[in-house]
Amino acid sequence: MNIENPTLMFSENIDNAQKITWKCPSNIAIIKYWGKHGIQLPRNPSISFTLENAFTETILSYKPKEKPDNTIDLAFYFEGVENETFKAKQLKFLYGLVQEFPFLTHLSLRIDSHNSFPHSAGIASSASSMAALAMCLCSLESRLLGKDSPLQEGSDVFMQKASRIARLGSGSACRSIYPIMAIWGKLEGIEGSSDDYAIPFEHEVHDVFKSFHDDILIASRGEKSVSSRMGHGLMDNNPFAEPRYAQARTRMTALVEALKVGDIETFGQICEDEAMTLHALMMTNSPWFTLLKPNTLKMIEILRGYRETTKMPVYFSLDAGPNLHVLYPNSVEKEVRGFINDELKPYCENEQVIFDNVGRGPKKI
């Protein structure tokens, strides 16, 4: 099969080869990626839990173009409605991939995408959406290349490529490709780790972390005042950047050890330190900014008090936004859910909470 000329294949096979659907989850970084260089290359390694209930489902439909040319013919639908703003973003991404996927200019494409969480929930959807699109593109490539290609769906090379492509769309998306946990960024002592793509970390992780919960408490649903792209950029002039990157490495090594042996307390401490470091970095830019809201801090204060009094293993993390991620092992689910519902939910916008947990990664539909 000539991948540069998929038209041939379609004339043979047009009916059953027109759609590819992937459902991809979001992820929450425990060691944060904040600061980049080159084309979405990280300044420090990061590690995340892959989630389950917060996901994007993307359908990539394709048919041969009447007359192939150098342009990409795309229609983009978000939640059933044609969306020109999202389309422009996706086109920019796809044009950057034409050398990698020459078939992009030979097909008419339609992308239908929707999230499991409300768009207005203030949850970044770039990780799950770019991961879902990357999986669709790699599946399409694999289909066009046929059975003899090493890029068979689900193979190690396929996953690595999907992770790399997702990274080009949104750095953190490269970690959403794998179940349970993924590491992105070169780190001494972690074989195969790379700045180009994430690698799976499931098999090294103690069982207690594989059923961890991550409930997302919506402190504010508003649009972020500073995008993560701008935030990464501001790190270039942050006076604490270099020590921060070194700190992330040291914390990674300590966290990896805690994850292996099932040390929840060390995990929790590093997790919270990282969340606060991320937001402290934002506040040490000049001019400074903060994405935290009064209710974020209120909930952190209450959570800390609850942990001190009850000795429950419950910790928080934060993404680049005001919403609080509450992390805890499955063994205390009942108690912590009760606590969240009674004591934290009143501080959430419209009492909105997304109950989530560590998940099995992307799923082809």
Residues that bind ligand PMV in the complex, under the rule CB under 6 A? 29, 32-34, 46, 124, 126, 170-172, 228, 232, 278, 319-320
- Toward ligand PMV, which CB reaches closer, 278 or 324? 278
CB-based contacts of 193: which residues, under 8 Å, 6+ apart? 45, 183, 184, 185, 186, 187, 199
Nearest distance, CB of residue 306 and ligand PMV, angstroms: 25
Nearest by Cα to 352 from 214, 221, 260, 210: 221
Question: 44 is written with which tokens?
Answer: 């420090």
- Toward ligand PMV, which CB reaches closer, 64 or 200? 200
Nearest distance, CB of residue 136 and ligand PMV, angstroms: 19
Nearest distance, CB of residue 127 and ligand PMV, angstroms: 6
- Toward ligand PMV, which CB reaches closer, 213 or 232? 232
CA distances from 327 to 30, 246, 268, 275, 353 (A): 10, 25, 8, 12, 13
- Toward ligand PMV, which CB reaches closer, 33 or 76? 33
Nearest distance, CB of residue 73 and ligand PMV, angstroms: 28
Nearest distance, CB of residue 198 and ligand PMV, angstroms: 11
End-to-end Cα separation, the chain, in angstroms: 25
Q: How many CA atoms lie within 13 A of 345 on its CB side?
A: 12
Q: Strand, coil or helix: what is 48?
A: strand
- Toward ligand PMV, which CB reaches closer, 172 or 194? 172
Dihedral of CA 190/192/196/202: which sign? negative
